[in-house]
Amino acid sequence: MKRYAGSLVVVIVSFFGFSVLQSTAQVDHIVIAAGTPEDQALQAITSEQDPQKKLALYEDFVKKFSENPAAVAFCRSPVPW
């Protein structure tokens, strides 16, 4: 049993080590400067209460700001709102 205990500890430590690395690798911060047209459009979207209108505003946002990679990435994130 002692022979396997060392291997088991190495496996467990490796698993948690890789889990931490994997979880931190997926964190991205998308920055859109305050006061820009993109920021103003996002504020209008977040203040909208109707889900259908909000979806239409997001679609317009992507069309209008498609040249801005940060703006498109913001809308493509899993849950931007």
- Report H helices in the chain: 2-25, 37-47, 51-64, 69-76
43: nearest Cα among 66, 69, 68, 74: 74
Query: Considering the domain boundaries, does residue 25 fall inside one?
Result: yes
55 part of a folded domain: yes
pLDDT digits (tens, 9 = 90+) for 14-37: 655 555 555 555 556 777 888 889
| Boundaries of domain holding 41 | 2-76
Q: Is residue 65 part of a domain?
A: yes
For residue 8, CA distances in Å to 2, 11, 19, 22, 44 come to 10, 5, 17, 21, 54
Q: What is the pLDDT of residue 30?
A: 75
Cβ atoms of 61 and 75 closer than 8 Å: yes
Report DSSP state, residue 26. Answer: T
Number of C-beta neighbours around residue 33 at 10 A? 8
**pLDDT at position 81:** 47
pTM of the model: 0.56
Q: What domain count does the chain have?
A: 1
Instruction: Look at residue 16 and tell me if it is in a domain.
Output: yes
**Residue 81 placed within a domain:** no
Query: If you average pLDDT over residues 48-70, what whole number do you get?
Result: 88
